[in-house]
Chain A
Amino acid sequence: MIRVALAKGRLASSCADLFIRCGIRADILKEETRKLVLETSDGAFKFFFVKPSDVPTYVEYGIADIGVVGKDTLLEAGADLYELLDLGFERCKLCVAGFAGVRPDPARPLRVATKYVHTARRLYASRGEDAEIIKLNGSIELAPLTGLSDVIFDIVQSGGTLRANGLSVLEEVFDISARLIANKVSLKTKAAQILPLLAKMRGELAAKDEV
């Protein structure tokens, strides 16, 4: 049996489509349920529903053999695991955004509000820039509007929220999309189950690219 960690919501339903095309009886993922553990009718797969940022944790500890999660979450978690496949959906960008044309006071460190504290710290450290990273849990766009920060570091999909609040993208830093990840041990000890699945997924994704 392969155990799969998934984030509930849109990502899970995109995954369900891909899984079904790969011959997994993942139709159960599309049912409305409050259960946190679902098993396919043939007993070949078990799905765990967890918070997106917990997907790498479940996989790193080997509780789940594989998982699907956004690259942004992976960057932030820094977990020790294998990143096997770019699934291509849930595309967005991790960006620095703020008021265009406004130069922050150079006499003090740049203030950056973000959910992605570790990633932001690494980014500014790699550039040798001092930055004050301010951890927020939601509505990041509010920070520059209220003067809490100079800029924000966050994922941007359509840019609608930014525009509605008079902000714009200052810099695109990382391309983000959903990734298939695997536990380092499970990939080897369950290679007979995981590798054929990986090959099928790769085939499905390539076929989709050609269309």
Chain B
Amino acid sequence: MDRFRLPAGVRDILPDECARFDAVQARLRERFVAAGFRFVRPAGLEYFDTFAGADSPVAPSAMFKMTDRDGNLIVLRPDMTLACARIAASKLGAESAKLCYFSDVYDFSAAGNSDREIAQAGVEVFGEAGAEADAAVIGFAVDCLEAAGLSAFIVDIGHVGFYKGILEESGLSPAAAEEVRACINAKDAVGTELALRKNGASQRAQRALLALPSLFGDAQVLSEAEKLTDSPAALASLLHLKQVYALLSKAGKEKRVSFDLGTVKSLAYYSGAVFTGLAEGVGAPVLSGGRYDGLCARFGKDLPAAGFAIGMQRVLRALERDKEVRQ
């Protein structure tokens, strides 16, 4: 083995790039602090059990695993949100907290568009619930992407409650629901139809689920979606998004947001509104976040929570593309 080589999926960041990286980080730091967030530096090694379990949002195959000296299985931190939730629930002792971080997470399974060592900048708000809290977090996500220097971007908003509500009425088994979710998430209308027919969902639920892949665009889709379901949970989530949109409009951010009810992120993690920052010229999201009430309860204290993480490398790539376009 050559001594000067690196394993796949990681790389060194050299001075020129590092300077650009630090400049973006400095602008974000200013924003985070001005908005009242306080920095934490969570541990880089954690117990496997913290992230394991049938309902864990992190797949065991996505973690770098090692055995500790006492025989326990430990992992390289796979997720910042869980680490912050653990800290807020078990160490701070307060009913509310606003935490932020600049940290790397590690993804053992990464391939394709992603790296195995991912530099993130993120914020987590604990102890606040409701449309106002969601609108504040999403509005702050817009502020941060602007502060980072991006010009052409939108924040795309969905809600896991809409899908969950329809699912409850459909009579699908959990395994079938997961198959359908994967198809919807890929906007694969053909696959969704086949999966529904095979698994025998109720007629009305079938129609609603089939419409999901095309339920994206401006705030108009929220009204369209209302016609598709009678599920109280699904309707409540649409009402919630309308309130969030009204609040964002009041803050003058309506041009920066769009909606996609067919973004069905992991249900083990998110409980309400979810959102993704999309920048022109980068093929993958630059920001990802949402509401995850219930996650803190895993660590012994039930706090409502929402937050997001910015992928620093993708932001840098978007900034480079912006510069190329302008030249």
Q: Spell out A's residues near B (CB within 8 Å).
A: 59-63, 79-86, 179, 182-191, 195
Cα(A119)–Cα(B279), bound, Å: 32
List 9 extra interface pairs beyond A82-B187, A191-B217, CB under 8 A.
A60-B283, A83-B186, A83-B191, A185-B278, A187-B187, A188-B278, A189-B152, A190-B280, A191-B216
A83 and B188: CB pair below 8 A? yes
Chain A residue nearest to B314 (CB atoms) is: A185
CB within 8 A of A86: which of B187, B190, B216, B258? B190
B283 and A189: CB pair below 8 A? no
**For this complex, into which size category does the number of interface residues on chain B fall?**
20 to 34
Cα(A187)–Cα(B190), bound, Å: 18
Whether B281 sits at the interface, judged by CB under 8 Å, is yes
Q: Which residues of B contact A188 (CB under 8 A)?
A: 154, 156, 216, 258, 260, 278
Whether B284 sits at the interface, judged by CB under 8 Å, is yes
Q: Which of B257-311 contact A (CB under 8 A)?
A: 258, 260, 278-285
Chain A residue nearest to B153 (CB atoms) is: A189
The main secondary structure of chain A at its interface with chain B is: mixed
Whether B174 sits at the interface, judged by CB under 8 Å, is no
Please list the 9 inter-chain residue pairs (A to B) with the smallest Cβ-Cβ separation, ordered nearest first.
Answer: A62-B283, A82-B187, A83-B188, A189-B280, A185-B278, A61-B283, A188-B278, A86-B190, A183-B283
A61 and B113: CB pair below 8 A? yes
Q: How far is the CB of B183 from chain A (nearest CB, A)?
A: 9
Cα(A118)–Cα(B23), bound, Å: 42
12 residue pairs from A and B, CB less than 8 Å apart: A60-B113, A80-B112, A85-B189, A183-B283, A184-B285, A185-B279, A185-B284, A186-B283, A188-B154, A188-B258, A188-B260, A191-B217
Given contacts A83-B188, A86-B190, A183-B283, A189 and B278 within 8 Å (CB-CB): yes
A81 and B260: CB pair below 8 A? no
CB within 8 A of B217: which of A59, A83, A185, A195? A195
Cα(A17)–Cα(B279), bound, Å: 32
